Amino acid sequence: MDVLGNLLDGFGHALSLQNLLLAVLGVTIGTLVGVLPGLGPATTIALLLPLTFVFEPVGAFVMFAGIYYGGMYGGSTTAILLNIPGETASIPTTMEGYPMARRGRAGAALATAAIGSFVAGTISTVVITFLAPGMSNIAKLIQPAEYFSIMVLAFVTVTSLMGDSIVRGLSSLLLGLTIGMVGIDQMTGQPRFAFGLPELYEGLSVVALAVGLFAVAEAVSTAASRHRPQQAPVTVEGRIGMTRDDWRRSWKPWLRGTAFGLPIGSLPAGGAELPTFLSYNVEKRLSRHKEEFGQGAIEGVAGPEAANNAAFSGVLVPLLTLGIPTSATASMLLIAFQIYDVQPGPRLFDQQPVLVWTLIASLYLGNVMLLVLNLPLIRVWVKLLSVPTALLTAAILTFATLGVYSISQSVFEVLIAYGFGLLGWVLHRARYPVAPLILGAVLGPLMEVQFRRALAFSEGDPSVFVTRPVSLAILLVAAACLIGPAIVRGRARASAPPPPAETP
Amino acid sequence: MTQRIVSAGFLLAAVVVLVQAYAIPQGNGYQAVGPRAFPLLVGGALAVVSVIGLVQAFRAGAGAGAQDAEAEETHWPSVLMLVAALAGYALALVPAGYWQATTVFFAVVARVLGSRKVLRDVIVGLVLALATYFLFDRLLGITLPPGLVRLAI
């Protein structure tokens, strides 16, 4: 297990001319789609997933790493210029980045986001390189009962962090788990929830689910609100770059953001929301320019963007070593792995060393490409923001359909994706978060496997989850995460007037 | 209002899940847990959570009115027309052919969303449809429905 040797091997694979071109292509298309308003990184990946299938796995994952970073960077561009967060983790960026852009400092905001993401991404990738193989060895020791409990913990923390109601988050999650169970049971061959439809025996395609919930739902939502005035993007004036003062005010937030994002993201409970909000609050408290916060303080862009990127890299640790995704974007990555019949988890590093190390090497590459390509090209990306909404929405639906059809060659799956699009829109209107739904659908089948293995070892005794000390401890932490916020919120509600309705 | 309907929908879903889960045969005696246990667990949890959600949605009462402000502004004709366009597109995809159906669909959706430049929309749609058709069908080798008119190239 020589990490550096493996990494060099990975670079050897990633640096072939074909793979380099795929990385450039991935970053470019990822940014291109990610920049479009309303399309967060998860939607971007859902839309672009089909494009990677035609390449062999290694090439596809190199391209994928590019799309991942490009999509994220595109998301922060929309947050800064349009005040539209592509996902919850980008909200802090909108709070400072958009005011900066309106004051004519868009160039500096975009630059600090890009450079901060690069710094955070690179540091995190280095840490992951050394941390992940070790974690993978620890993960091999985990028994089914504990595995199940860790998944419960991941579900609970992710759900209680997303959206404003734990009940609605859990409803969404459990619906996702149900969707994941549709089809023939892997162990017994028994069809479940198929309602006699042979089309459903294979299960509901997670690609159709993701494309529907993210891309189609976004289009329906645009149609539903079409008479509302559209927000014009802020123009980018002056040069893209930072003054000496900007650098002085940015570098510490970048590092602090990384320090929040990486460890929290690496936990099988994290996600990217918590570290970005933490980073925002800490920068606000530490800043010598407190009065600027809310009016466009550069620290408020630099910190959360770094935290976001670090968390996104950190999320790869539980994903690769445990097979547990802790964000919507990570779920999309897991789906990509599964399409290639690769199951991330403790054995991944042993079974697929070439794939894993090439993927890690391409994370370094993706980061560099992003900085090299995007800073000079920002003005090109910004032009995309002026594409009329009507054409944009039509294009999103076209690509969503093409994606689902090209994978499945089935009109039925396309209709399923549309159906999920409507479901996603209805849930969004009723303020139910959709990320837990995806998480449940993707992780549910794996969770059931561990559940049944644990019960098989205990010969059917369900107390196994609470009599094994480690499993019990994890479940207690999960229970605390579930009940704690409810109590805090209950107290806050009792003592304060109800908060204004949240605008999604 | 939306929240009440949706939370009721969740309760209904929970009932369906539980009924369907009960209908799953227990499987043979060799396994400690058959294919039924996990669905029952999930269905039960969904029932509990959705009952709480329903109670919350109805208790919110007048306060929920403000939260639904967005819902009241929903432009239903656009949503219904979009749904019709999607259904038509999915059904026409194979018989009419990929690029033909896509061109029409693109222009229709743009129109539904308020565009009034029909010619531009058709041209953009056609270019997009042909470009993706050639990329996927000819370059990447993913077969898309050709429809009646086969392109010579």
Cβ–Cβ gap B49/A170 under 8 Å = yes
Closest chain A residue to the Cα of B28, Cα to Cα: A188
In a mutational test of the A interface, the residue from B4, B31, B70, B138 whose CB has the highest number of chain A CBs within 10 Å is B70
CA distance A124 to chain B (A): 35
Looking at residue A498, its pLDDT comes to 45
Whether residue B84 is predicted with pLDDT greater than 90 in this model: the reply is yes
The total of structural domains in chain A comes to: 1
Residue A245 CA to residue A196 CA, distance in Å, equals 66
CA distance B113 to chain A (A): 5
DSSP string, A421-460: HHHHHHHHHTT--SHHHHHHHHHHHHHHHHHHHHHHHTTT
Residues of B in contact with A404 (CB under 8 A): none
In a domain, A333, yes or no: yes
Cβ–Cβ gap A165/B109 under 8 Å = no
Residues of A in contact with B35 (CB under 8 A): 185, 187-188, 190, 192
Contact between A177 and A155 (Cβ < 8 Å): no
Residues in chain A: 504
Cβ partners under 8 Å of residue A261, min gap 6: A120, A124, A272, A275, A276, A279, A306, A307, A308, A309, A310, A311, A312, A313, A314
CA distance A387 to chain B (A): 12
Looking at residue A268, its pLDDT comes to 81
Whether residue B62 is predicted with pLDDT greater than 60 in this model: the reply is no
- How far is the CA of A82 from the CAs of A106, A292, B63, in angstroms? 11, 20, 30
Cβ partners under 8 Å of residue A171, min gap 6: A432, B7, B10, B46, B49, B50, B53
Closest chain A residue to the Cα of B23, Cα to Cα: A192
Residues of A in contact with B33 (CB under 8 A): 451-452, 455-456, 460
Residue A431 CA to residue A437 CA, distance in Å, equals 13
Contact between B116 and A261 (Cβ < 8 Å): no
In a domain, A503, yes or no: no
Residue A465 CA to residue B35 CA, distance in Å, equals 19
CA distance A478 to chain B (A): 15
Cβ–Cβ gap B115/A178 under 8 Å = no
* pLDDT string in tens for chain A (504-residue length): 578 888 888 888 878 888 888 888 888 888 888 888 777 788 888 888 877 777 788 888 888 888 888 888 888 888 888 887 777 778 888 889 888 888 888 888 988 998 999 999 999 999 988 888 888 888 888 888 999 999 998 888 878 766 678 888 899 999 999 999 998 887 788 888 888 788 888 888 888 998 899 889 989 988 888 765 566 667 776 677 788 888 888 889 999 999 998 988 888 876 777 888 889 888 988 888 888 888 888 999 999 999 988 988 888 889 989 888 888 888 888 888 888 888 888 888 888 888 888 888 888 888 888 888 777 887 787 777 778 888 988 998 998 999 889 888 899 999 999 999 999 999 988 888 888 898 899 888 889 989 988 988 888 788 888 888 889 999 998 888 888 776 776 666 555 444 444 333
In a mutational test of the A interface, the residue from B59, B86, B133 whose CB has the highest number of chain A CBs within 10 Å is B86
Residue A458 CA to residue A238 CA, distance in Å, equals 67
Closest chain A residue to the Cα of B12, Cα to Cα: A175
Looking at residue B83, its pLDDT comes to 95
Closest chain A residue to the Cα of B101, Cα to Cα: A398
Statement: the pTM of the whole predicted model exceeds 0.80: yes
In a mutational test of the B interface, the residue from A156, A178, A211, A458 whose CB has the highest number of chain B CBs within 10 Å is A178
Cβ–Cβ gap A456/B32 under 8 Å = yes
Cβ–Cβ gap A165/B56 under 8 Å = yes
**Token pair in block for residue A209:** 């689910």
Residues of A in contact with B42 (CB under 8 A): 174, 177-178, 181, 444
Residues of B in contact with A176 (CB under 8 A): none
In a domain, A500, yes or no: no
Secondary structure (3-state) at A144: helix
Residues of A in contact with B78 (CB under 8 A): 223-224, 226
DSSP string, A360-411: HHHHHHHHHHHHHHHHHHHHHHHHHTTS-HHHHHHHHHHHHHHHHHHHH--H
Residues of B in contact with A448 (CB under 8 A): 38
Nearest to B34 among A177, A188, A219 (CB): A188
Cβ–Cβ gap A401/B79 under 8 Å = no
Which secondary structure element, helix H or strand E, spans residue A274, and what is its range? Answer: helix A273-286
In a domain, A498, yes or no: no
Residue B39 CA to residue A454 CA, distance in Å, equals 16
In a domain, A47, yes or no: yes
Residue A450 amino acid letter: Q
In a mutational test of the B interface, the residue from A54, A165, A174 whose CB has the highest number of chain B CBs within 10 Å is A174
Cβ–Cβ gap B2/A458 under 8 Å = no
Residues of B in contact with A409 (CB under 8 A): 143
The domain in which residue A233 lies consists of 3-141+148-488
Nearest to B75 among A225, A448, A460 (CB): A225
Cβ–Cβ gap B43/A178 under 8 Å = yes
Residues of A in contact with B13 (CB under 8 A): 175, 178
In a domain, A499, yes or no: no
CA distance B153 to chain A (A): 20
Residues of A in contact with B80 (CB under 8 A): none
Nearest to B2 among A394, A430, A500 (CB): A430
In a domain, A504, yes or no: no
Contact between B113 and A397 (Cβ < 8 Å): no
Nearest to A459 among B32, B46, B91 (CB): B32
Residue A174 CA to residue A453 CA, distance in Å, equals 21
User: From the CB of residue B19, how many other CB atoms can be counted at a distance below 10 Å?
Assistant: 10
Cβ–Cβ gap B79/A220 under 8 Å = yes
Cβ partners under 8 Å of residue A28, min gap 6: A66, A70, A373
Closest chain A residue to the Cα of B92, Cα to Cα: A411
Phi (first) and psi of residue A475, to 5 degrees? -65, -35
Closest chain A residue to the Cα of B116, Cα to Cα: A390
Residues of B in contact with A394 (CB under 8 A): 105-107, 109-110, 113, 121, 125
Secondary structure (3-state) at A184: strand
In A198-270, DSSP assigns E strands to: none
